[in-house]
Amino acid sequence: MGEINLARVDERLIHGQVMMTLSQKSGVNSIFVVDEVVAKDPFMRDLYKSAGGRTGQKTIVITPDKAKFYWDEFKFKEYNCILIAKTVSVIYDLVSHGVPMKELNIGGIAQKDPEKDLLVTKSVYLNRADAEKLKEMNERYGVETIYFQATPSAPKSSLKEVLTKFGL
């Protein structure tokens, strides 16, 4: 049975030194990019597979539904992966479906709605709905460690710190 060694939300998905560093995490042998648009676009899928391949890890690009199926049917086989998605909602969908993960890193989310999105760290904007999903993943679905950190050398902000900005 495989496992998710680290889940990450980052709109850029695989990029530069961040992935090179994260992919060296103990026990990791693959990167799962979970994104509807990228998985369905052959050019983008190949681009991300190529980028992930530069880390030395097998890179699998799949839709959220395929990720749920792959967990249900095969428990991710022998893959101990870093699972990356662009949004908190995709990670929430996987976790609430039953895909287990213990550690979630929020790395980079751009502002979409100036009226709803709050800058919570240097590289992350979050709205209240996503903050509530993160809280629920931690309290109800067993995601033990949720933190905000754009790069491995940047300071970490805890979920608790960020939730106080929403009064949660």
| Residue tagged 């940047």 (tokens) | 154
The CATH fold of domain 3-164: Fructose Permease (3.40.35)
> What are the angstrom distances between the C-alpha of 7 and each of 52, 62, 93, 144?
15, 15, 13, 12
Q: What is the pTM of this model?
A: 0.94
pLDDT digits (tens, 9 = 90+) for 1-40: 999 999 999 999 988 767 778 888 778 999 999 999 999 9
Confidence (pLDDT) at 55: 82
pLDDT digits (tens, 9 = 90+) for 64-85: 999 999 999 999 999 999 999 9
Strand 58-62 to 30-34 pairing: parallel
